Amino acid sequence: MTTYTNDPTLPTPSFPGSHMVIDDRYVFISGLTVSDLSNGEAARGDVKEETHLVMRAIARMLEMENGSVADILRVDIHLTNLKTIHDLDSVYAEFFEPGRYPARTCTESPNICGGCHVEITVMATRQLPKEQ
């Protein structure tokens, strides 16, 4: 069964979509920016700050579904300036076990919603609750 859900700790999306779509095998998380986390108001910073905030939100959303960042299979990243990829990578790598990084695409997108520098989309394996 597929469910379409929004993270109750985040503002309701301003677009016609869901924060997460969950089926029997996967958790799909829509592209997140710091603008999505703060209802478009504040929290914009440099690439490192934005990456840290978005990755923490993704980790929390996966934990809501009994998972973790270790379950991430694929990541799509959009940067307003591809020259900042090393700044992004310095934070992004902290969230994963060395040598166990998800498949990834990183592109330059000069006009990310909310004037943010980073947008991250995730596909993760779904961890089913353990039977007791």
Return the closest-CA partner of residue 115 out of 57, 63, 45: 45
| CATH entry, 3-125, from 3.30.1330.40, 3.40.50.620, 3.40.50.300, 3.40.50.2300 | 3.30.1330.40
Q: Is-contact 123 22, C-beta < 8 A? A: no
pTM: 0.90
Q: What is the mean pLDDT of each run of 10 residues along the chain (132 residues)?
A: 90 86 94 80 77 95 94 97 96 95 95 90 86 55
